[in-house]
Amino acid sequence: MRRSHSKLLQKWLKNLANLKTASITKRLASLGSDRWAVHFESRRRVKAGEDIIELTIGEPDIPTPTHLLDVASTSMRSGRTRYAGGKGEPNLLQAVADKYSVRTGRAISFDQVLAFPGTQAALTITVMSLVETGDAVLVPDPYYATYEGVVQAAGAEFVPVPMSHGNDFHLTTDQLESAITPNSKVLLLNSPHNPTGAVLTAEEVRAIGEVCQKHNLWIVSDEVYEPLIYKGEFSSPFDMEPFADRTIAMASISKSHAAPGFRSGWAVGPKWVMDEIQHVSEAILFGGQPFIADMTAHALSHPDGTSDEMAANYSSRIALLMDAFKGSHLVPLEPSAGMFMLIDVSASGLTGEDFAMKLLDSGVSVMPGSSFGSQCEKFIRLSLTVDNDKLKIAAQRIIVFASSI
């Protein structure tokens, strides 16, 4: 009997050892939370009672507007808690269509829109719908930390397109052309840009669009920082008629309306491809929360000045930091948009990653530039989402730490 039990146990263990997961889990193994190791270590230390000023993530420091909370609450209590359509609630789709009709000067219909739980989901599902194994996605480097995971999830090749610090990290047509191969299918464009704060001009966007047209590339345009521009003007390939039929634009209310926890975003593009993307979206999501859709529709159709308030705050903090680092051997890159600032720490002799991890002992947490691509390895990224007094203290701590190396 014991021998029989032993054989069964050995067979069970052998079968268990043969269980495997899909290759996607290996492709994404180091592309998620690993990029945020400094942030998570900071949170651990803060919880343990350490005095650390956190400048890692882009979470607005003003509350979600009360009128939006009221809309969500009223909607929820009125029964808007049932299943939603896989495409999105009609009122939200129409509000997004109206926004882009005004912005583009073209008639954008609600059937060109898909609703998603945030821009991250919109990016991932859109890219999964456009490419597969054997295809390549071009991503200007530096890039937002999750972009590599977005591409790898689809099984496509992630192709960084190095941008130049000397050109303030604006993508040029030469840089783009040099990275294109017969396998290239998509350009993942981000302007206003995270982490650099660069804003592409209309002329630059048009030139990039012409290259994509020439090589028959899709343009996936992440435009979440559209309302937070301090220098220059927003420009999108979706707004330019020659490129509208190959562009899918996306954004959310996370940054524009200080509502990151609601995870409410959208994508807009040519109807035929949005219909195709909907098949993938429904397999993964099949609808969102109707009360959040109501809140988002209200936010888009009732401008309230939230983004203007945030932009004024961030602009003043940029000026504060530019002044604070003046005279130090740390070199800030003044952003034209967004809620972050890059600091060149190469004069310290440390990589951005080493600088960020050691800086925790001095009471400040920042993101290492390496989380945003190879072109940022000598940088750290600071969030502008703390008040001026706290930011001034953080800057002083960073300067003191750098001078002690």
User: Where exactly are the structural domains of the chain?
Assistant: 24-63+306-404, 66-301
Q: What's the confidence (pLDDT) of residue 43?
A: 93
Residue 12 has pLDDT above 70, yes or no: no
Question: Does residue 1 surpass a pLDDT of 60?
Answer: no
Interval 243-286: pLDDT, tens: 999 999 999 999 999 999 999 999 999 999 999 999 999 999 99
Closest C-alpha among 186, 276, 307, 197 to residue 237 = 186
State the fold for domain 24-63+306-404.
Aspartate Aminotransferase, domain 1 (3.90.1150)
Mean of the pLDDT values across residues 104-124?
97
Tens digit of each residue's pLDDT (9 = 90 or more) over 24-69: 888 988 877 778 899 999 999 999 999 999 999 989 999 999 999 9
Q: Are 346 and 338 in contact (CB under 8 A)?
A: no
Query: What percent of the chain clears pLDDT 90, i.e. is strictly above it?
Result: 89
Q: What is the pTM of this model?
A: 0.94
Name which of 130, 180, 187, 176 is nearest 153 in CA terms.
130
CATH code that applies to domain 66-301: 3.40.640.10
CB 175 within 8 A of CB 200: no
Stretch 181-190: mean pLDDT, rounded? 98
62-71 pLDDT, tens digit per residue, is: 999 999 999 9
Query: Has residue 13 got a pLDDT over 70?
Result: no
Q: How many Cβ atoms from other residues are within 10 Å of residue 106's Cβ? A: 13
Query: pLDDT of 200-221, one tens digit each?
Result: 999 999 999 999 999 999 999 9
